[in-house]
Amino acid sequence: MKDNNNKPDTKELFSSTYEYYVKYRPSIPKEVINVIVKHFDIKPTDRVLDIGCGTGQVALAMEDKCDEMVCLDLDPEMLKQAKKATKDSQMKLTWINRSSEDLGKIKKELGTFKVVMICRAFHWMNQEQVLKDLDELIKEDGGVAIFSDRVLWSGDEEWQRALKEVIQKYLRKERRAGKGKFKASDELWENILARSVFRFIKTYDVPIVRNWDVESIIGYVFSTSFAAPHLFGDQLDRFKEEIKSTLLSINSKEVFQENAVWSIVLGSKKGSTFFIELPI
């Protein structure tokens, strides 16, 4: 973020969301991982760094793709959930309870990596400083992969618009985050990367169709930092009932289709004279 005054206390972002995060956050599609792996030519012998790893979804998706992953997250409960989720992994996994702002302090113990992955987390970071700190951590033939899908209620389907209206009725239009409010930078990720050492940019959009029911929609809402259960206070049950009745009034069969898009921005240290369009 350029404006650190908008940055909330990240230690409290996901308080009360963990059980919902693990159960209801959509996994990372193999199509998305394949784009990143092929672009950077990640091999089974390579090391990968995951910043803002959450409950370990990137590590799960990268199984068999690399030799080792080092995963950072500031929230110890997130790391606890990530260790449970990846207990059967055959990769070497190292979990570190530190934030992206600590990269400069711990770079010697981290070593070097082929690629750093930042999934659904770049907007929380001091972006330009993180990219600067990553310079010494990423090999010359490597780079940065920043990728995310949009929040569930940002789509144009009738049920998504209705969901957004109910959420804003209870929490207002300003985005909540922890105890404060949050406004993400409007600057494109590729423009931020272009000012860094990772200035050779390639972008991809990967469309994904997902189906939801009422339970999973409510669970997803409660997995987010800006609609965490504790933010509703004594209106939590009322909110859940209103979401349920609103959705069922739109589709009584409880089938809600989402046309999602994963946005991927890849920044490399070295450029090439041409790009090969990668099959998904």
Torsion of CA 41, 45, 50, 53, to 10 degrees: 120
Res 249: pLDDT: 98
Among 30-39, 120-129, 167-176, 263-272, the least confident range: 167-176
Cβ–Cβ under 8 Å, residues 58 and 28: yes
pTM value surpassing 0.75: yes
Question: Taking the CA of residue 41 as centre, how many other CA atoms within 13 Å lie in the half-sphere pointing to its CB?
Answer: 5
Q: What is the CATH number of domain 4-151+182-209+261-268?
A: 3.40.50.150
Question: With 90 as the cut, is the pLDDT of residue 177 above it?
Answer: no
Note the pLDDT tens digit of each residue in 255-268: 999 999 999 999 99
Domain boundaries, given as residue ranges, for the chain:
4-151+182-209+261-268
Note the pLDDT tens digit of each residue in 112-147: 999 999 999 999 899 999 999 999 999 999 999 999
Backbone conformation region of residue 54, classed left if phi is above 0, alpha if psi is from -120 to 50, else beta: left
CA angle at 76 for the pair 25 and 67, rounded to the nearest 5°: 75
Banded pLDDT at 270 (limits 50, 70, 90): confident
